[in-house]
Every structure is written in C-alpha cells, then in structure tokens.
Structure 1
Amino acid sequence: MDNALVSIVTPVYKAEKYIKETIQSVLNQTYENFELILIDDCSPDNSAIVIKDIAKKDSRIKYVKLEKNSGAAVARNKGIELAQGRYIAFIDSDDKWYPEKLDKQINFMEDNKVAFTYTKFEMINDDGSLKNEAAKLPEKLNYKGLLKNTAIACSTVVIDRKLIGDFSMPLVRKGQDTATWLKILRNYEYAYLVNQTLNQYRLVEGSLSSNKIQAIQRTWNTYRNIEQLSLISALYYLSHSLVNAFLRRI
C-alpha cells in the first residue's frame, strides 16, 4: 500500500527562535509523504524569512500568511482547510518530533483501524535540554475520560479524515486543541495512545502553556463555555483533571 499523504499544520507567531529546529524535525521524518503547512499569524519577527529560506529547498513546505493576527485557532483552521492529506497532524512552532514519529503513528492507525491517536511526549526547556521524561498516559480516552484527564498534547495528534470526517477548531484564543478533541469524541468513541515517546514539548518561559494558573483557567473555560457543563460537573471534571495532571509528573 502506498503511504497516504499526511498534512501537518503549524501556526506561526514569534517563532523565529525555534521554527528552524521544528521544521528540521519534520524534514527528518522516516515517513516522507507529507506536506508541512505553516500559517503565519502576522508574526512580527523574522519567522517568515526563516521559513521561506527552508521552503526553497523542499517543496513539501507550504507557507501561508494570514491577513491579520487572528490567533492559533484561526491559523490551524486555515491549515486544515488547505490540507490535501488523508491524515491531519499538528506540530507547534517550538516543539520537535522524533524521526520515526509519523511512521510509527500511521502504521499503528492502519494496523488497528483507528482514526484518532496521540503519543507520549517529554518536556524540554527553552534551550532544548530535557526537563521531564515522558509520563504514563491512558491507553485510550473517550469524551468523559478526556474531561477527567486532559493528557492529549496537540503536537502528538494525528487524525484520519477519511474515518472522522472534516473538522475544525473552535474559535477561541486559548484551549482550542482540547476543545477540538472533545468535539471529535462526542461522535467518535476513543482516541488511542501510541505508547512511545515521539514528541518533545517545549516549555517556553512566559508562554500560555507554561503558566499553570492560565492552564486551569483555560480548562475551566472549555468546560463551562464550550462544553457548557453545569457548575457541579465542571468542578467534578476539573478536580479529576488536576489530580491526573499531578500524577503524570510523579
């Protein structure tokens, strides 16, 4: 069987420091049938120059600039809209993949006939040094399981559009990735873990993802305003989510 095309979507904003390393981790993939769609969210730095220079050497890299700064959800949705592949994958502009990431994940999906997968990941510091080794993650998550354990990192996800159908991310500035997984899991039974460490998730000082209080607020907003859970249900699932987040790090 010929390898199906994988469309990889990356929103780009103030990514000049890391984007070359991120792109190189994609170009190093042993699974070679992909397109990397980089959506420039009107980044004020030199990200565009870095991307265009690399794109000259590899036609699989696609660069698109939005007309105005609109946030990661709009950028990712533009990438999904332009995607030509059966599979949609995501990598943030400061994260990195191990070379066998797509190979192992796509093979797992095809062998097991599943449409939504995620992988283990390790956390790295701003300079790329290891901060935390990969934590144990659930083997599979359904809708209620994900509410209790928001363990799916965006840069680890691959989705089979042939089985899931078309999808888009809710237009919120924060937490649109988890909100998307929840939306998919309303109609598709499980997301499945590829139980290998295939992604490096960079904790950049001052970023949204590095601020624990903002992370809690983001999760709360998802529960109350997007999923429209009752106050009691939101408190119930948030408490489980916090406990599971703590247990992942011990």
Structure 2
Amino acid sequence: MSTDNERLVSIITPSYNASKYIRETIQSVKNQTYSHFEMIIVDDCSKDETRDIIRSEMENDKRIRLIELADNSGPAAARNYAINLANGDYLAFLDSDDLWHPDKLKKQVQFMEDGGFAFSYTNYRMMNENGEKTDAVVNVPAKTSYEGLLKNTMIATLTVMIDKRKTGAVQMDLYRDCSEDYGLWLSILANGIEAHGLREELAFYRKCENSLSSNKLKSAVKTWNTYRKIRNINRFSAMWYFANYSINAFKKHAKTY
C-alpha cells in the first residue's frame, strides 16, 4: 500500500510483438516493493498475442493500463503517447522485454528525493535472449553532464527515472534513423541538468540477437544521426564526439561481452 507522501511513478512501456517476454516484464513491475506506480503500456499494432497477455495481467491490477494504437508509429511515438497520459511526478522507462530488480523503484525514488535530483540512472546486468542472467554488469558513473553524455551512451533506457517537476514536459523526437531515447537524455542535460548514477544493479537488459544493440553499425549510425539531426551539432564537433563515443563503446563492450 502507498502512503500519502509517496510520489506516483509513471512507467512508460512501448510494446510490439512482445508476447514472448511481456508477461515477465509486467511481473517484474508487479513485484516492486514500491507500490505507488502506474504502468502505461502503449501497444504499437502487435500482430501476435501481446495485447491479450497484457489484458490478462491487467485484470486484477488497476495500476496497469493498455493503450492500443491504430497505426504502427514506432517506439518513440508510443513512448510519447504514454508520457502525455502520465499522472506521476516521476517517469520511469521499461521496454517490453527487459526486467527490474524488485527494489528498483523504491531505491531510485529515495535516491532522487534525498539528492533532489531531476534525472537518474542505475547499473544493470545483461541477460541473454532466454532471460538467463550473464556475468556482464554495466557499472555507470556517479554523474554525467551534457558534454559527458555526448561522448558516451552509458545511460540505458530501462534504468532512467526523471522528475517532471524539475525537467518540465518531455517528448522524444520521432526520427526513426536516430536514437530517440538518447536524444531525449541529451535534450534534458542540455538545459544544465546533471544526471546522477545510482551505482547499484537494479535492472536486467535482455540482449536479443536481432536487437539494435546487437548490430553495432546500425547503433553507431543512429548515434551519429542523433548528433546531427536532434542536437544540430556541426560536422566537425560531431566527429570529435563520435570518436570519443566509439572508444567508450569499445571499452564498454570489451567489459560486458
């Protein structure tokens, strides 16, 4: 049960053909020790049983909502739709194949309340496609600035929590050839906000063979396009940031794969 002084957390989850994983993802939210949340799942025209599974998980839990889009619009548009419906002071992001540690919301809300932070992220562990946890853990820095994030994509979407009271309204850009989530984090930090790392392993990222992150070239192209299209960075500065990004990406993957 929630208490009067607990802040509502709105969990933003896009889904598309996620029937293999979505039930486990929802269960990891239901298992949270912090109960004052709403989970807004926006389904982007799934062709499998994703929506039926979500409805079955909603039956006895009014905190979970399903929004069914009429046209396939992509994950950024689905997230934006959920953000626009969110009632919480805090926004947390969880994709339909990833999982959270049961104490994730409790510890992260406390971390942000204690520090007065607008933006936070956490360590996370990699899982394989079958949900088996690996030995690979991504350890994040204690804080990062706009300049720091331009050189490093260390912030994983499933670990992010932002305080709307401090950031103001947020939306993701809809360029499908960019990293829309990375672009949003940069847009927030460009306003002088620092992101703070809760250096505990509180989330589990599923690495699927056909996922974007498994295709390093596509990921690199999206990062470059984020510099140029979303942040409007000139070509020479973008090359400098991209060189640093490439070095840091190599170091990260050398440690975790």
TM-score (normalised: structure 2)? 0.95
Aligned to 1:74: 77
Cα deviation, residue 146, structure 1: 0.2
Aligned to 2:112: 109
- 1:1-250 to 2 correspondences below 5 Å: 2-173=5-176, 174-248=178-252, 249-250=254-255
Length, aligned pairs only: 250
SS at match of 1:44: coil
Cα deviation, residue 204, structure 1: 1.0
SS at match of 1:134: strand
Contact 2:19 2:53 in 1 (8 A): yes
Cα deviation, residue 110, structure 1: 0.3
| Change beyond 3 A, Cα 1:185–1:10 | same
Contact 1:121 1:200 in 2 (8 A): yes
- 5+ residue gaps in structure 1? none
Spell out, residue by residue over 1:92-127, the C-alpha distance to the aligned partner (whole angstroms, 9 max, x if none).
Answer: 000000000000000000001111000011111100
Cα deviation, residue 213, structure 1: 0.9
Aligned partner of 2:235: which letter?
Answer: L
Cα deviation, residue 135, structure 1: 2.5
Within 2, Cα distance between the matches of 1:136 and 1:151? 9
Q: Which moved more, 1:175-184 or 1:165-174?
A: 165-174
Within 2, Cα distance between the matches of 1:150 and 1:132? 21
Contact 2:90 2:163 in 1 (8 A): yes
Within 1, Cα distance between the matches of 2:229 and 2:164? 27
Within 1, Cα distance between the matches of 2:75 and 2:135? 25
Within 1, Cα distance between the matches of 2:49 and 2:212? 21
Cα deviation, residue 132, structure 1: 4.5
SS at match of 2:24: helix
Tell me the percent identity.
47
SS at match of 2:137: coil
Within 2, Cα distance between the matches of 1:117 and 1:132? 24
TM-score (normalised: structure 1)? 0.97
Cα deviation, residue 209, structure 1: 2.4
